[in-house]
Amino acid sequence: MSAYDLVVIGGGSAGLTAARTAGRFGARTLLVERDRLGGDCLWTGCVPSKALLHVAAEVQAARRADVYGLGAASGPADLAAVMEQVRRAIAAIEPHDSAEALRPFGVEVVYGPAVFTGPRTLTVGEREVSFRYAVIATGSSPVLVPVAGLAEANPLTSDTVWELAGLPERLMVLGGGPTGCELGQAFARLGSKVTLVEVLDRLLPREEPRASQLMRERLEAEGVTVLTGYRVEKVADGAVYGVGAPVVYDRLLAVTGRRANTAGLGLEGAGVRLGEQGQVMTDGRLRSSNRRIYAAGDVTGRSAFTHLGGVQGGAAAVDALLGVRRAIDYEAVPWVTFTDPEVARVGLTADEARSRYGDVVRVRTVEHDRVDRAVADGRTEGFTALVLGPRGRIVGATVVSPRAGETIAHLAAAVRLGWTASHYAKTVHPYPTYADGPWHAALSDVYARLFKNQWATGALLGLRRKVAR
Ligand SMILES: Cc1cc2nc3c(=O)[nH]c(=O)nc-3n(C[C@H](O)[C@H](O)[C@H](O)COP(=O)(O)OP(=O)(O)OC[C@H]3O[C@@H](n4cnc5c(N)ncnc54)[C@H](O)[C@@H]3O)c2cc1C
Ligand SMILES: NC(=O)c1ccc[n+]([C@@H]2O[C@H](COP(=O)([O-])OP(=O)(O)OC[C@H]3O[C@@H](n4cnc5c(N)ncnc54)[C@H](O)[C@@H]3O)[C@@H](O)[C@H]2O)c1
């Protein structure tokens, strides 16, 4: 039986970072991957979806070329050519996630499904392995909601949509979360007639209601039929049945949520407790109920983002091997839905902040018709909202704009470092950028408080008049 300091199970964003971190310390590290390195993000998640959205944006621009006196493109895009572009992006990134890239870190890679055989042992095929510590980073997989006829309808999921050979004429997207909005918009721009169905009363239900409304308006303007508060009763004969007339489709894409990959790992025998959704239950240090076994990434049910999975993977390896705790501030983790416009969030929404801090909370919003870059781009539909908590600290922010994902990074730093609106306002921002949004929101808070104390500024002005006539 070979012995390792750290065995990492799963070679996605979380597992790769855990393995690289351990390798850097000179730990004897084994990475077990049952399929291919790179995980969901590289093969079926972030990378293909962002490449698809990029192509879809170019197609959309071509459809509007007549505005500039050129011939406008029309009709459906050639999906084979589009997917070629998607595969090119994956191929360019894949080497960074490969076994060769892990070799300089001294990480050994073995392929096959890992199964725990005890609290400190596991097997990979015939091979028996013991470990001082392990990190479970097996990710999550799409799940189908229990709707009559849905499984039989053989829906596409975010795992399989990339294998489509041709553009569906009518695409039904079930689920109005980030995946549904991103893929729904991309396929609509490429030329599918998309219907987007969400069971709750708005798209992107985790975001500020106004961001959800803007998303709806944008998608509808681009020809997507959006049905919210729509409960699918059954799927049969190429149609979805709910309230009103059945909605027919050519292909169905089900993106209604995911479930942690923990089945078949032998976790019971390893003393690892699971939650109701099958996720590995972890403490603040990402340790499972077996203190020698950590978990990171989607499998924890606390992360569904590549960047957070990576941070968790690194933190778990450091904690296990060096005993050094790296606290993760979950409230300062930003996320972005990469539709056009992008919807970016960090920290608390206004409602969440009010229920935590009460009336002290104020929200400073800048409409993007006051952001010159948005005006220059002809994209003034968005907004920036800063949520300010006690002592004017920035406790949350939402940005909706074509480049909101870039703007939110700075705001994540502000939330994490506990900056007030005044701190933020003192940092000079470049003009003209969408970053003017949060800057002016912060400045508006500073000015509003100054004007509230007008007696003080008035007194100071009067005094100065007397001194320097
Ligand atoms: C369409 C889509 C778009 C997305 N876009 C974004 C985005 O823009 N930004 C973002 O931050 N996030 C995005 N995400 C989420 C992101 O992809 C995931 O959060 C991230 O990839 C999870 O990483 P992970 O390491 O936890 O799991 P995974 O990447 O799923 O890796 C788990 C690995 O474990 C392996 N494995 C499973 N079981 C075993 C076993 N028994 N033995 C050995 N190996 C095993 C799997 O084969 C896999 O390689 C998107 C997701 C989807 C579906
Ligand atoms: N840009 C990004 O960072 C990005 C992109 C895609 C996914 N992700 C992450 O991956 C995870 C999964 O995302 P997702 O969008 O696939 O799932 P999700 O769970 O975030 O959203 C699923 C949506 O489907 C809806 N739904 C559930 N049952 C339904 C039904 N019967 N009919 C209609 N709608 C129904 C839910 O109300 C929800 O709005 C998320 O945590 C997300 O943050 C991130």
Please give the chain's pLDDT, 469 residues, in tens.
899 999 999 999 999 999 999 999 999 999 999 999 999 999 999 999 999 999 999 999 999 999 999 999 999 999 999 999 999 999 999 999 999 999 999 999 999 999 999 999 999 999 999 999 999 999 999 999 999 999 999 999 999 999 999 999 999 999 999 999 999 999 999 999 999 999 999 999 999 999 999 999 999 999 999 999 999 999 999 999 999 999 999 999 999 999 999 999 999 999 999 999 999 999 999 999 999 999 999 999 997 999 999 999 999 999 999 999 999 999 999 999 999 999 999 999 999 999 999 999 999 999 999 999 999 999 999 999 999 999 999 999 999 999 999 999 999 999 999 999 999 999 999 999 999 999 999 999 999 988 877 777 788 888 888 888 7
* Residue with CA nearest ligand 2 atom 6: 179
Tell me the best of 49, 143, 144, 199 to mutate to test the pocket of ligand 2, counting ligand atoms within 8 Å of each CB and taking the most: 199
Tell me the best of 234, 256, 342 to mutate to test the pocket of ligand 2, counting ligand atoms within 8 Å of each CB and taking the most: 256
- Atom number in ligand 1 closest to CA 308: 11
pLDDT confidence of residue 455: 78
- The answer, yes or no, to whether any atom of ligand 2 lies below 6 A from the CB of 196, is no
Backbone angles phi, psi at 240, to 5 degrees: -105, 130
End-to-end CA distance of the chain: 89
**Count of C-beta atoms within a 10 Å radius of residue 54:** 15
pLDDT confidence of residue 323: 97
* Residue with CA nearest ligand 2 atom 27: 256
- Atom number in ligand 1 closest to CA 159: 53
Kindly give the distance from the C-alpha atom of residue 255 to the centroid of ligand 2, in angstroms, as a whole number: 6
Tell me the best of 30, 33, 42, 46 to mutate to test the pocket of ligand 1, counting ligand atoms within 8 Å of each CB and taking the most: 46
Tell me the best of 40, 122, 127, 293 to mutate to test the pocket of ligand 1, counting ligand atoms within 8 Å of each CB and taking the most: 40
Query: How does 138-148 read in b/e, with b if 16+ C-beta sit within 10 Å?
Result: bbbbbeeeebe
* Residue with CA nearest ligand 2 atom 32: 199
- The answer, yes or no, to whether any atom of ligand 2 lies below 6 A from the CB of 208, is no
- As a whole number of angstroms, the distance between CA 157 and CA 163 comes to 10
- Atom number in ligand 2 closest to CA 145: 31
- The answer, yes or no, to whether any atom of ligand 2 lies below 6 A from the CB of 281, is no
**Count of C-beta atoms within a 10 Å radius of residue 85:** 14
- As a whole number of angstroms, the distance between CA 392 and CA 405 comes to 24
Q: Which ligand is nearest to the CA of 18?
A: 1
* Residue with CA nearest ligand 1 atom 8: 46
Q: Which ligand is nearest to the CA of 307?
A: 1
- The answer, yes or no, to whether any atom of ligand 2 lies below 6 A from the CB of 179, is yes
- The answer, yes or no, to whether any atom of ligand 2 lies below 6 A from the CB of 145, is yes
- Atom number in ligand 2 closest to CA 255: 16
Strands (E), 143-265: 170-174, 193-198, 225-228, 234-236, 239-241, 247-248, 251-254, 258-260
Pocket of ligand 1 (CB under 6 A): 9-15, 32-35, 39-41, 45-46, 49-50, 113-114, 137-139, 158, 179, 261, 265, 297-299, 304-307, 309, 338
- As a whole number of angstroms, the distance between CA 140 and CA 282 comes to 16
Q: Which ligand is nearest to the CA of 174?
A: 2
Residues 6+ apart with CB under 8 A from 10: 32, 33, 39, 136, 137, 138, 139, 261, 297, 299
pLDDT confidence of residue 247: 97
Whether complex ipTM tops 0.95: yes
- As a whole number of angstroms, the distance between CA 226 and CA 216 comes to 7
pLDDT confidence of residue 460: 80
Q: Where are the alpha helices (DSSP H) in 330-381?
A: 350-357, 372-377
Torsion of CA 51, 57, 63, 69, to 10 degrees: -120
DSSP β-bridge partners for residue 241:
234
Q: Which ligand is nearest to the CA of 233?
A: 2
Tell me the best of 34, 41, 157, 181 to mutate to test the pocket of ligand 1, counting ligand atoms within 8 Å of each CB and taking the most: 41
Kindly give the distance from the C-alpha atom of residue 256 to the centroid of ligand 2, in angstroms, as a whole number: 5
Q: Which ligand is nearest to the CA of 252?
A: 2
pLDDT confidence of residue 449: 87
| pTM check: above 0.80 | yes
